[in-house]
Structure 1
Amino acid sequence: MPTVQEIADYAESTASKLGIRKYDIYGSSVDETSVQVDRGEPKQVKASNRSSVIVRVWNNDHLIGVTTTTDVDPKGLELALKTAQEASTFGAKEHIPDFSPEATAPTAEVKLEKRSPAAVADLIDQLIAAEKQLLEAHEAIASVPYNGLSQRDVDRFYLNSEGALRKEARSYASLYLYSKTEQPGRKPRSAGAVRVNHSLAELDIKGCLTEALEKTISHLNYEKVRSGKYRVVFSAEAFLSLIGAFSNLYNAQSILDKRSLSTPDSLGSQIASPLLSLYDDALHPENVSAETFDGEGTPTRRISLIEQGVLTHFLHSAGTAKRLHAQPTGHADIGAKVSVGPHFYHVLPGTTTDSAFQLETAENVILIDDLQALHAGVNALQGSFSLPFDGWLINRGEKVSIESATVAGDFRDVLKSIIYVEPEVEVTPGGVCPRIWVDQLSVTGE
């Protein structure tokens, strides 16, 4: 692949030849290797290189044409620019995207670099060893049906005809272990764990093994739970799953499309308990897949979404920011249409409280570890959800796995019913979050 500077030079000379005055180009390339194993043998080994370049051209009538390509040599780039130029004749005439006003602003000084990839044989050996340890750790664990170890190199760039030129590269590796039990006269139980870091050498394989094992064993002793209203404690991963499922709450594009729980006038309103604060922070030190700019070249940054229960900001692209008289926030993904999406959540306590709750002394509390079927059990436009979950009923330190149950409610009520945000946070692939205590949620047993 040519360097970003070479691509910029090609684009400038070709655009001049074609009479194109205004254009921008966003591209990414991903090299990935992944392995799966089954009972000590390689089950699947995959290697791929995925490249995508999006070219946008504005014509003299200020209409925009968009095309994609994987070929960024001079001929390929010329064809892409020419195709986008021709497509601009049919471009939308309302809410036409434009350059981000911050496309040439300085980005944060974050150290992003590639790590040397491990050999495929090392990936296989490490995963086989992890599977073996998990199988031998407890007699009830019969298989690890879902597992995976992968490493990925990512290169990104953005440039435009007004002199913007950005590039970055990073690497990360991930491990997933999901074990399943078999016991005579008992239902199969399962649990999993995930770890992500910059490279295989930095991956916390031992921690992933320990978590998967402890969770799996804790589900062996299970009982039915009575239906009713419960005080519920969401794990970091479970609460972030809910936050992500209802992200239209602060997504400016969803708000403008009238597919959101918020309106443009919702800023400044109390939507959650004062105990909760929520940020989107692409540059958080724990974010292994940090990005310093978005698809429009806007620098990423820490954005306050909810401050002590008050909705403080929306996530913006350049286009939504212009329509709502705000500033871009670095959350744009460009394509045929510009979309808006979060990067990495950071949940933390808002106002201080004298109350403190502990699972060790709590009575009749349900700890939800993992929410399932979010694709089917969430109505994001109404705010409602009904979701199966993995978790435990906790009573004065006694922890009993729940056989099968669903939790249901309205997300807005959940936010307002938060009674405690624990001070200690947990790092997950999607963000940093403590356990969240919510009062009076409906739980339906089997």
Structure 2
Amino acid sequence: MSDVATIAAIAKDKAQALGIQKFDVCGSTVDEASVQVDQGEPKQVKASKRSSVMVRVWNEANTVGVTTTSEVDEQGLELALKTAQEASAFGAKEYVPDFSPEATAALDTTQSELVPQAEIATLIDNLVQTEAKLMDAHDAISGVPYNGLAQRDAQRFYLNSEGAMRQEARSSSSVYLYSVTEQEGKRPRSAGAYRVSQGLDQLDIEGCLQETAEKTISHLNYQPITSGKYRVVLSAEAFLSLLGAFSNLFNAQSILDNRSLATVESLGTEIASPLLSVADDALHADNVGKTTFDDEGTPTRRIPIIDKGVLTHFLHSSGTAKRLDAQPTGHANLGAKVTVGPHFYHVFAASTPEQTYSLETAENVVFIDDVQALHAGVKALQGSFSLPFDGWLVNKGEKISIESATVAGDFRDLLTSIIYVESEAELTPGGICPRIWVDELSITGE
């Protein structure tokens, strides 16, 4: 992708020729490659380089036209500006989006950099060796049907007609392993793990392998569970999956659209246990996908969402912030409509608890490692969920795999029923989070 200053110069010249006074451009280029293997042979090799550019134009009546393109050369930008100019005649007349008031504010000085990508052959060799080691970890492991080793370079920019210009680049590498078992007279069991880092050299492939093997083996001796109410421990991934599914609680756009469990008046009220704090932190040191600005050019920053159980902030675009007399938080996504979305959750204990808990001493607790079927089992506007899960029944450190079960409840009740937030956090694709202990949830066995 061209330098943002070059793109800005082209866009300014073309806009002037078309009589456009107000416009902005947001774009990205992604260069990625990934491999999958099957029984020691390459199964799928993919590589792509794609660009996406969003152009908005305001007309004299202050309505906006939006168009997309994949080209940022003179011809591509001219056509996009012209198309957006024509579309502006049909733009919405209420709640018209505008430039972010922070589009020219200083950015965080911490910038990610691109690292050289490894050869495809190197990715394949690494994954073939890892698959072989995983299958050798136990006689019952029959295959690794889902696996992947990928690397990605991403570059982003934002500019507008008032002189805003931003640009950033970052690299990431990731590995995913998911193994299955076959034992005569028993159901197949499975488990997976994921790791991510800036480059292949730093990627903890061995740790991913060990976690996948340990989880898979731990599920071999499974037993049914009696339906009832249980104290539940949620893994980092399980809790963040639920938090993401009910993120309308703190999404300002969802609240304004009446598509949220919260209202404007919910700000400042207690919605969770005072043991829990949650922030959205795009600049967190452990966030490999760190980004310094959103699609409107607003700088990202750490936003405390829940502080000691109290809902303290909503996530905003510049438009929602204006309507609610707040400040933009750097969470805007440009499209035909500006939407709001999180970056990277940081969940942590709000204070030192009076009582601590441990899986080594707890009796008859359910440890949920992963929840599934979120698309079908979550009613985001009602707050309820009923989800199949992978996990164990734990008694004084002894883990017994649960054959098949679902966990159900209301997310708001779950938040207020938290009795312990562990201190040691785990990094996941969606954020960093410790294990969360919930006093009681409904577990239904098969």
Q: TM-score range by the shorter chain?
A: over 0.9
Query: How far apart are residue 352 of structure 1 and its match?
Result: 2.5
Structure 1 residue 137: Cα displacement: 1.1
Instruction: Give the whole-Å Cα distance in 2 for the aligned partners of 1:303 and 1:3.
Output: 30
Name the counterpart of 2:94: 94
The answer as to 2:312 corresponding to 1:327 is: no
Q: Which amino acid aligns with 1:287?
A: N
CA distance in 1, matches of 2:51, 2:125: 29
**Matching of residue 282 in structure 1 with residue 279 in structure 2:** no
**Which position in structure 2 is the counterpart of 1:173?**
173
Q: Tell me which amino acid in the other structure corresponds to 1:421.
A: V
Q: CA deviation at 1:349?
A: 0.6
Superposition deviation, residue 111 in structure 1: 2.9
1:390-421 deviation per Cα after TM superposition (whole angstroms, max 9, x unaligned): 00000112110000000000000000000000
Paired-residue identity, %:
70
Tell me how far 1:429 sits from its aligned partner: 1.3
* Corresponding residue number in structure 2 for 1:443: 443
1:189 aligns with 2:185: no
1:2 Cα deviation from its structure 2 partner: 2.5
Under a length normalisation based on structure 2, what TM-score does the superposition of the two structures give?
A: 0.99
- Aligned equivalents of 1:308 and 1:397: distance in 2? 29
- In structure 2, what is the equivalent of residue 353 of structure 1? 353
- Residue in structure 2 matched with residue 238 of structure 1 by the alignment: 238
Residue 426 in 1 paired to residue 426 in 2? yes
1:21 pairs with 2:11: no
Aligned-residue offset at 1:298: 0.1
Q: Distance in 1 between matches of 2:82 and 2:400?
A: 64
Cα distance per residue 1:161-194 (max 9 Å; x no partner): 0000000001001100000000011110000000
CA-based RMSD of the aligned residues comes to 0.6
1:3 deviates by 1.9
- Report the 3-state secondary structure (helix = DSSP H, G, I; strand = E; otherwise coil) of the residue aligned with 1:201: helix
Give the equivalent residue in structure 1 for 2:202. 202
- Structure 1 runs of 4+ aligned residues shifted over 6 Å read none
Task: Write the distance in 2 (CA, Å) between the matches of 1:174 and 1:215.
Answer: 19
For residue 363 of structure 2, give the secondary structure of its aligned residue in structure 1: coil
Deviation track 1:78-133 (CA, whole Å, cap 9, x = no partner) reads: 11101100000000000000000000000111131000000000000000000000
Distance 2:254 2:71 in 1: 33
Partner Cα distance (1:32, 1:304) in 2: 33
Residues 179 and 216, structure 2, Cα contact 8 Å, conserved in 1: yes
CA shift, 1:61, in A, is 0.5
Report if aligned partners of 2:190, 2:216 keep a CA contact under 8 Å in 1.
Answer: yes
Query: Do residues 159 (structure 1) and 192 (structure 2) align?
Result: no
Answer yes or no: is the 8 Å Cα contact 2:317–2:339 preserved in 1: yes
Shift of 1:141: 0.2
For 1:2 and 1:181, how far apart are their aligned partners in 2? 49
Q: Indicate the SS of the match to 1:414.
A: helix
Unpaired stretches in structure 1, ≥5 consecutive residues: none
Q: What whole-Å deviation, never above 9, does each CA across 1:224-260 have from its counterpart, x for those lacking one?
A: 0000000000000100000000000000000000000
* Distance (Å, rounded) in 1 between the aligned partners of 2:340 and 2:334: 9
Residue 5 of structure 1 deviates from its aligned partner by 1.1
Report the CA distance between 1:359 and its aligned residue: 0.4
- Aligned residues of 2:111 and 2:168 also touching (Cα < 8 A): no
Structure-2 separation of matches of 1:87 and 1:398: 63
1:338-384 per-residue CA deviation (whole Å, 9 max, x = no partner) reads 00000000000113322010100000000000000001000000000
Amino acid at match of 1:158: Y
SS of residue in 1 equivalent to 2:54: strand
Q: Distance in 1 between matches of 2:364 and 2:110?
A: 45
Q: Which residues of 2 match residues 36-51 of structure 1 at below 5 A? A: 36-51=36-51
Instruction: Tell me, yes or no, if the aligned pair for 2:111 and 2:292 is still in contact at 8 Å.
Output: no
Contact persistence 2:196–2:288 (CA under 8 A) = yes
Normalization by structure 1: what TM-score? 0.99
- Residue 33 of structure 1 is matched in structure 2 by 33
Q: For residue 414 of structure 1, what is the aligned residue in structure 2?
A: 414
1:341 aligns with 2:341: yes
- Per the alignment, residue 78 of structure 2 pairs with 78
Amino acid at match of 1:104: T
2: distance between equivalents of 1:354 and 1:173? 40
- How far is the alpha carbon of 1:308 from its aligned partner? 0.2
Instruction: Confirm or deny that 1:129 pairs with 2:129.
Output: yes
What letter corresponds to residue 373 of structure 2 in structure 1?
Answer: A
Give, as a single letter, the amino acid of the residue that structure 2 aligns with 1:401: S
**TM alignment of 1:251-262, pairs within 5 A:** 251-262=251-262
Give me the whole-angstrom Cα distance separating, in 1, the residues matched to 2:357 and 2:431. 23
Provide the secondary structure at the position in 1 that maps to 2:244: helix
**Matches of residues 398-409 of structure 1 in structure 2 within 5 Å?**
398-409=398-409
Could you tell me which residue of structure 1 aligns to residue 293 of structure 2?
A: 293
Deviation digits for residues 60-85 of structure 1, max 9, x if unmatched? 01000000001111111111101100
Measured in 2, the distance between the counterparts of 1:350 and 1:198 equals 30
